Structure 1
Amino acid sequence: MKKDKQFVVIGIGRFGKSVATSLYKVGYEVLVIDNSEKEIQDIANQVTQAVQLDARDEESLKRLGIRNFDVAIVGIGDDIQSNILVSVLLKELGVQRVVAKAKDALHGRVLEKIGVDRVIYPERDMGIRVAHNLTSTNDLLEYIELSPDYSIIEVYAPREFVDKTIGKLNLRAKYRVSVIAIKSAEEIIAAPGAEALIKQGDILVVIGSNQAISNLPK
């Protein structure tokens, strides 16, 4: 059963693809937009709708009904000018909440000046850290607030997850969250498969509603 909130992800690099597919897996309506036909073909079966177009084209965004989306995530990476222009268009077209990826601090300040609701720095912070630290006793490390009720968070692997695979834990069914990366001292596993083993000391990057995240074992 699909949930009411609708997301649009613009720019399907590693970050955008990870966010879009994870949101879809836990039941949200997700539209992805990219100007690459190959990227759109690759992700089409993993989201609600995938559209190839130039997101800098205001009329194209209007035809898609972009203002009806609750949250827009701008994942455009190297082209800073396009990143900023698309963010401006989304705000002007009435998207309720715009989250944009920034390449560096200066880029981030520009995004803040044009009214972006949340700026994130995936390259600077290994793809998931943000400029908002949680002072929490629940082993939560850092998070990306995608909306007031939906986040991507880092959490130390709970004791009962250790030495179990993602498939065995079945987190989407049991907790309604998805693990989008596993970080250890040796490596980072992005989009871990069912066979990925969680070890003592691992950090999990988890996406889900704040309510679902709060129900994870401590």
Structure 2
Amino acid sequence: MKREFAVIGLGRFGGSICMELSREGFNVLAIDMEEDKVNEFRNIASHAVIADTTDEQVLKELGIRNIEHVIVAIGENIQASILTTIMLKELGIKKITVKAQNDYHEKVLNKIGADHVVHPERDMGKRLAHKIISNNILDYLELSDEHSIVEVQAGKKMAGRSLIALDIRAAYGCNVVAIKQGNEINVSPSPDAELGADDILIVIGADRDIGRFERSLADD
């Protein structure tokens, strides 16, 4: 059986999730209070309905209890987001992902049992900031408050040198977990592997260590 998802809130964030899950072939129940937004997804999602998800009876009638993973992507109405999350928890939904508007909202969502809380605007801002800071940073993913994983282009300073010569782990406290060379990904690369300027290193570590690594080895 195909995995089933529900997306509540069809703004830019929820709408993009709904579109991508549907494109990947999953069954998606798309829900919003506004008719025009629902109409946009009638031919994209498996089902698209106008509904108030703060009403427990409405959720039951939608058969939400049969859905494995619900994404709450309600926009600026924090109260509706919180109430919807509470209702979903009470109905026994296995996994609930919720979009948070701010840190206070996130704290409340964590207390009421959201399985995963996301800050799409904040996280995108951090990723963009890291790209702006260094010409070598291609992508950035926050793993926790203090640890991240980044894609770093080797560039001129690292080209022609091996991982063992760069001594990244000892010198900076970071770990190179993979190297992308063209369309190939070399997981757990040999320390003797020589890097090319266009190679991409997948580096994991504490933010402060990654920062030192960027500043020392990134091209000017």
What TM-score results when the alignment is normalised by the length of structure 1? 0.60
One of 105, 117, 132 as aligned partner of 2:143? 132
One of 66, 85, 95 as aligned partner of 1:87? 85
**Corresponding position of 1:33:** 31
How far apart are residue 159 of structure 1 and its match?
Answer: 3.5
One of 36, 52, 55 as aligned partner of 2:53? 55
- Provide the rounded CA distance (Å) in 2 between the counterparts of 1:158 and 1:53: 48
**Corresponding position of 1:44:** 42
One of 17, 20, 28 as aligned partner of 2:15? 17
1:48-101 per-position Cα deviation (integer Å, ceiling 9, x unaligned): 110011111111110111111000000002000000000110110111100000
Q: Are residues 55 and 127 of structure 1, via their aligned partners in 2, closer, same or farther at CA, if it must alter by over 3 Å?
A: farther
| Greater Rg over alpha carbons, structure | 2
Q: Are residues 6 and 67 of structure 1, via their aligned partners in 2, closer, same or farther at CA, if it must alter by over 3 Å?
A: same
**Corresponding position of 2:204:** none
Q: Give 3-state SS (helix, strand or coil) of 1:76's partner.
A: coil
**Corresponding position of 1:5:** 3
Structure 1: gaps spanning 5 or more residues: 141-155, 162-199, 202-218
Letter in 1 for 2:6: V
**Corresponding position of 2:113:** 115
- Provide the rounded CA distance (Å) in 1 between the counterparts of 2:114 and 2:101: 14
Q: Give 3-state SS (helix, strand or coil) of 2:52's partner.
A: coil
1:86-132 per-position Cα deviation (integer Å, ceiling 9, x unaligned): 01101101111000000111110100000000000012222897763
- Provide the rounded CA distance (Å) in 2 between the counterparts of 1:57 and 1:126: 32
- Provide the rounded CA distance (Å) in 2 between the counterparts of 1:104 and 1:132: 18
**Corresponding position of 2:217:** none
Runs of 4+ in 1 over 4 A off after TM superposition: 127-131, 133-137
Query: How many residues were matched structurally?
Result: 145
Letter in 1 for 2:49: V
C-alpha root-mean-square deviation of aligned residues, in Å? 2.9
**More helix by percentage:** 2
What TM-score results when the alignment is normalised by the length of structure 2? 0.59
Letter in 2 for 1:6: E
